Amino acid sequence: MRAHLQATDYGACTDAALRLRWPTRIDDDDGLWLAAAWAIAEGFGLPLPSGAAGIVSWIGVLLAGEADTALDRASPEAVLAWCTAAGEWCERHGLDAPFARLSARAAAADAQAPAWARVHWRIASAWHHEAFGRFVQVGELLDEAAALAATAGDPGLVIVVSLKQARLALSRARPAEALLQAEAVAARLVPGGAPLWWADLADIRARAALAQGDPVSALHQARLCDGLARQAGATPAYTVTYRVNEAYALLGQGAVDDAVALVCELAAVPMPPRLQQRVALLARLFTLARDDRAGRWDADQDAALETTVQRLRALDWTGVLALLPAVVARLWARALEAGIEPDWVHAAITSRALPPPEPCWPDAWPWPLRLQVLGGFTWQRAGDGDAATQGGRAALKPIELLSRLAAEAGLAPMPAETLAQALWPGEGREGRDKALETTLARLRRLIGDAAALRLAERRLRLDPQHVWLDRAALERRLSLIDAAVCAGSSANGPPVAVQWNAALDLWRGPLLADAGDDDAVPDWLLQARTRLRQRMAASLLGSAGVSGHPARCLRAVAADPGLGRWLGPLLAAASA
């Protein structure tokens, strides 16, 4: 028990586990210590003696009340030892309900227990609360553990708590803070001693490197961690979470097949059910990420993704692939495109503030701001039920600025001076600059997302990580169509037809149709309409050999009659 909790070397745990005897009864300190040892051995995959097949159900019976007599009689140290071991066992098996009983017992024994037991109970409690999403308690418990360890003057306890606090910093997305804490621990360690502590340090460095976008360093540290853990005698079940970081690093480097092979290997390691489920889901996600990266995506991948998302939802695992946000963002985008669990996927995205994988893709991403310039101009903030066309009187100039920027520049940067001259033609430069500054501030307040508009080096742009724009989404669809037709792959099949249907859904009418007909709009808008019509016509003409072409042309011209002049004889043939 102490060897496991101190986590310096695991060889002693393996030897002790093989000598465990099956208890005849649990009614005193010795019985509780023995039960705690069995919980540790089973929960962390230590080799068990023969005849231990019923250990999981037996521990469940103890948690349900069978151990109460012993807990009533036992010393505070033995009570906390059992509560700590059983708490870790519950966390690894995904059981939250029995933990409340353990907490009540631990609270009653805590004041009279020795420092080591009090510290380790808080550590076990912290990780249990984190596993079930109760993050506020985690920091409080680790702070209490740190204070107790410092008061006890036990260097080993201080190191154990410091390592846990570094992991907490990582879970809070503070890799720099985690590295500072890790280096402080490294300064206390003896080189070559306590290999499992050094393994923990390497694991923290690996995760920090992943969080900082450095998969090369992460891979080095992850492999170092695995080697040190093996040196310490840790079991495969104990090191699974260490080696998952190696798989993350491989995927981050682009070694996709190696990453998939490793995580599938880990999924075959015997371990508690909750951990087994999670590693199996990681294997599925890695496989899907490989297919996505290779461009192999069809109905089979959608079906596999749907099953995977449903299982993630059952586990409430919104933070999956926390160290690979770009990878999980693409999978969530695929899910939204296929209509898979949209409410849960939206919650998973917003809870982590994930950026979209590509500008304006997918359309169903929870964009902070949505703009439409094809047809009439509308804008919609995240959470608003309906799109708005204008605002109050005070919003007229900010909305004019927003619509001009979106229609003329799309997602590209536009010189601020060009915008200022267009909106305040009668002002001098100083007056225009002041008016632009004031209007931009009002616009940011109106849309509720200051990051949606970026002003840098006197150029203003819509931020593609915060804004969905129908014009840009259309241009992306047309580029995908052109690429598919040029490649000749499935040119007559569903993929191109689906892309065309999505493109024509976006093609709702002329650019800023509510500004008037072509002969009544300013030159800049007519030129912008012309460029967009030429772009649409080029893709339509390029897809002339794809089935359904006449109907596409007629539908496109019906939405924007001004497109007709660019299609020429093809339109006449379609009409005939």
Give the DSSP letter string of 363-392: TTS--SEEEE-BSS-EEEETT-SS-BS--S
CA distances from 556 to 407, 529, 536 (A): 19, 14, 9
- pLDDT band with cut points at 50, 70 and 90 for residue 490: very low
User: Average pLDDT in the 149-175 region?
Assistant: 92
Predicted confidence (pLDDT) per residue in 82-110, tens digit: 999 999 999 988 899 999 999 999 999 99
pLDDT in tens, 509-522: 999 999 999 999 99
Q: What is the pLDDT of residue 401?
A: 95
Identity (one letter) of the amino acid at 77?
E
What pLDDT was estimated at residue 278?
Answer: 93
Q: How many CA atoms lie within 13 A of 184 on its CB side?
A: 16
pLDDT at 5 over 80: no
Categorize the per-residue pLDDT at 445 as very low, low, confident or very high, splitting at 50, 70 and 90: very high
**Residue 44 pLDDT > 90, yes or no?**
no
* Least confident stretch, 28-37, 206-215, 297-306, 361-370: 28-37
pLDDT at 190: 79
Confidence band (pLDDT; 50, 70, 90) for 505?
very high
Q: Do the beta carbons of residue 95 and residue 56 sit within 8 Å?
A: no
pLDDT over 90 (residue 524) = yes
Strands 467-469 and 369-372: parallel
- DSSP-derived 3-state class of residue 191: coil
In this structure, what are the phi and psi dihedrals at residue 340, rounded to the nearest 5 degrees? -90, 115
CB count in 10 Å sphere of residue 176? 10
Q: Which fold has domain 369-467?
A: Arc Repressor Mutant, subunit A (1.10.10)
Phi, psi of 462 (to 5 degrees): -80, 135
CA distance 324 to 304: 20
State residue 478's pLDDT score. Answer: 96
Residue range 482-507: mean pLDDT, rounded: 80
Q: Helix, strand, or coil here: 334?
A: helix
Ramachandran angles phi, psi of 235, nearest 5°: -80, 160
Instruction: Quote the pLDDT of residue 491.
Output: 43
Across the range 115-124, mean pLDDT stands at: 94
Q: How far apart are CA 153 and CA 157, in angstroms?
A: 8
Among 289, 341, 335, 353, residue whose Cα is nearest residue 316: 341
Confidence of residue 456 (pLDDT cuts 50, 70, 90): very high
> In the predicted model, is pLDDT for residue 164 greater than 90?
yes
Give tens-digit pLDDT for 548-576. Answer: 888 999 999 999 999 998 887 666 665 65
Domain ranges, ordered by start, for the chain: 2-229, 230-354, 369-467, 470-575
Per-residue pLDDT at 493 exceeds 50: no
pLDDT band at residue 547 under the 50/70/90 scheme: confident
At 492, the pLDDT band (50, 70, 90 cuts) reads very low
Q: What are the tens digits of pLDDT across the range 398-407? A: 999 999 999 9
- Cα 109 to Cα 132: distance, rounded to the nearest angstrom: 24
Q: Is the pTM of this model over 0.75?
A: yes
DSSP code, position 412: S
Q: What average pLDDT does this structure show over 42-70?
A: 86
Gyration radius of the chain's alpha carbons: 30
Check residue 182 and give its pLDDT. 94
pLDDT of residue 274: 84
Under DSSP, the state recorded for 511 is B
Burial of 393 (0-12, 13-18, 19+ CB in 10 A): exposed
Q: Are 63 and 32 in contact (CB under 8 A)?
A: no
Cα torsion through 166, 168, 174, 180, rounded to 10: -10
pLDDT at residue 415, rounded to an integer:
95
- Using CA atoms, how far apart are residues 430 and 408, in angstroms rounded to an integer? 24
Q: Which CATH architecture has domain 2-229?
A: Alpha Horseshoe (1.25)
**pLDDT the model gives residue 386:** 60
Q: Which residues contact 170 (CB under 8 A, 6 or more apart)?
A: 178, 204, 207, 208, 211
Q: Using pLDDT thresholds of 50, 70 and 90, give the confidence band for residue 25.
A: confident
Provide the residue type at 49 as one letter.
Answer: P
**Please, are residues 378 and 389 in contact by the beta-carbon 8 Å criterion?**
yes
Band (459; pLDDT cuts 50, 70, 90)? very high
> Average pLDDT of the chain?
90
pLDDT digit string, tens, across residues 374-421 = 999 999 998 776 666 555 556 789 999 999 999 999 999 999 999 999
Q: Which residue has the higher pLDDT, 134 or 305?
A: 305
Q: How confident is the model at residue 289 (pLDDT cuts 50, 70, 90)?
A: very high
Mean pLDDT over 538-556 rounds to: 91
